[in-house]
């Protein structure tokens, strides 16, 4: 399987990703940017230091001046890149993936990297013809500057009891002091930096990984809990009743707050509930649907000048800083609670809820998965009162629900997802999809109930 994915480079450390591979990637990036300055940083995974060293060596051999900002969260890395005035950058991080994995988040210019640019880097590595130069590596430390910049726009009118679950990741020593600076009482959970992630999985988007946070919020009578992923660009909230807040509902709460300050556009990924665009329109905003993925949401946020962007995976992008940031998401959510004068549970319960399925992952050969997507697109193309979206696979929108079918780019799977205004309608839509797809019938798939 290729280490080059849709938005980044990822793989198993020590086998797919080695210091030698990192060096070759560095030489390819250095060639692509013609030996310009580049910022590099990394998370605290056990494999990151060697990969970052190899990467920096490759960049320097291509003539780059390499500014090494050390170990830090991904949002702080993007802040450092902007503060240093350097467009190109590489963050070595496995993000939310298991501890044995790692990866490279790459920026070549002012905009997120494209699939075409990643493809060009892959070809450079395969060809082995690189630029040669005499670059060097310089250390930089901008973590304190990042903390100060994050704090600056927020006043912290209310003092709250919070539980911070850093998951032993990059925010372990950064988020608690920032929140305490605003007067909050912070109860720390898994706030010891440890690249083995002994406390829980680095992925907070799976509710089963948050049981300790839920229990701690309830037992400590905290007003809010927040969990970050390994590199800090995802945040998942827990209300004072210990309930995990679905990220599309968090998008709505953040949009309510931000659109009152600055009417504008909100970008959301195509897996989100229809509640997101409905609520954004009610608030006078303009919702824009985009395919899932950091690079896709961020590019659309920047291109459209949007106020907010959000993914169901827990990424929240802010137009005023031009990036996603788990700590800024936390501070903004706390500000939203202050403005509303209500608890998180009360705000969450004020957001409508429709029956929605989880991702339904069906084992399926890649060619058949693509055939099923094409089959569904053709079957519903001329149906009245439907909208067909081809951002990623095919999404079919009825006035009261939708169906999404996407082939996996990394595994032999077809992923389905459905939502409707009622459970009965949800099952009807699923049956319509089955009836129109011989491929799905051949796989023996049957309609699936919603969450809960």
Which of these is catalytic: 131, 257, 294, 315? Answer: 315
Which of these is catalytic: 47, 61, 95, 250? Answer: 95
CA distance linking residue 362 with residue 447, whole number of Å: 12
389 included as an active-site residue: no
> Please, are residues 237 and 224 in contact by the beta-carbon 8 Å criterion?
yes
Give the number of other Cβ atoms within 10 Å of residue 34's Cβ: 12
315 included as an active-site residue: yes
Instruction: Kindly state the tokens that stand for 156.
Output: 């912290």
The contacts of residue 290 (CB under 8 Å, 6+ apart) are: 267, 268, 269, 270, 296, 297, 300, 309, 391
CA distance linking residue 147 with residue 83, whole number of Å: 13
158 included as an active-site residue: no
Angle between helices 275-282 and 247-261 (to 10 degrees): 10
Cα–Cα nearest to 32, from 93, 87, 84: 87
The contacts of residue 199 (CB under 8 Å, 6+ apart) are: 165, 167, 168, 189, 190, 192, 212
Cα–Cα nearest to 283, from 382, 210, 350: 350
The catalytic residue positions are 10, 95, 315
């Amino acid at each position: 399987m290729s280490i080059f994915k849709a938005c980044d480079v990822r793989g198993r450390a020590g086998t797919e990703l080695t210091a030698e591979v990192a060096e070759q990637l560095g030489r390819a990036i250095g060639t692509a940017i013609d030996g310009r300055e580049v910022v590099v940083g990394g998370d605290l995974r056990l494999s990151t230091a060697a990969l970052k060293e190899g990467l920096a060596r490759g960049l320097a051999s291509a003539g780059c001046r390499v500014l090494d900002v050390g170990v830090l969260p991904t949002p702080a890395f993007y802040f450092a890149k902007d503060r240093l005035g350097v467009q190109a950058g590489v963050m070595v991080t496995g993000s939310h993936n298991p501890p044995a994995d790692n990866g490279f988040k790459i920026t070549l210019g002012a905009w997120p990297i494209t699939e075409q640019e990643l493809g060009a880097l892959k070809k450079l590595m395969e060809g082995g013809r690189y630029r040669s130069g005499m670059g060097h590596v310089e250390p930089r430390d901008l973590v304190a500057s990042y903390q100060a910049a994050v704090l600056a726009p927020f006043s912290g009118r209310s003092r709250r009891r919070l539980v911070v679950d850093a998951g032993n990741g990059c925010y372990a020593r950064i988020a608690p002091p920032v929140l305490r600076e605003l007067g909050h009482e912070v109860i720390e959970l898994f706030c010891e930096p440890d690249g083995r992630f002994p406390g829980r999985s680095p992925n907070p988007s799976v509710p089963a990984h948050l049981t300790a946070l839920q229990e701690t919020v309830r037992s400590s009578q905290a007003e809010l809990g927040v969990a970050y992923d390994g590199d800090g660009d995802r945040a998942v909230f827990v209300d004072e009743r210990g309930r995990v807040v679905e990220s599309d509902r968090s998008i709505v709460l953040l949009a309510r707050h931000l659109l009152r300050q600055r009417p504008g556009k909100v970008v959301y990924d195509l897996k989100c509930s229809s509640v997101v665009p409905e609520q954004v329109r009610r608030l006078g905003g303009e919702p824009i649907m985009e395919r899932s993925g950091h690079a896709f949401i961020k590019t659309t946020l920047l291109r459209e000048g949007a106020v907010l962007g959000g993914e169901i995976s827990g990424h929240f992008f802010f137009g005023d800083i031009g990036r996603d940031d788990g700590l800024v998401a936390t501070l903004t959510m706390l500000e939203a609670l202050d403005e509303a004068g209500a608890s998180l549970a009360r705000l969450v319960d004020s957001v409508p809820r429709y029956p929605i399925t989880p991702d339904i992952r069906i084992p399926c050969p890649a060619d058949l998965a693509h055939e099923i997507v094409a089959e569904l697109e053709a079957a519903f193309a001329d149906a009245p009162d439907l909208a067909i979206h081809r951002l990623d696979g095919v999404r079919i929108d009825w006035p009261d629900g939708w169906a999404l079918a996407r082939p996996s780019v990394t595994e032999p799977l077809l992923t389905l997802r459905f939502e409707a205004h009622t459970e009965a309608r949800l099952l009807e839509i699923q049956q319509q999809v089955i009836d129109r797809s011989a491929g799905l019938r051949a796989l023996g798939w049957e309609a699936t109930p919603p969450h809960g």
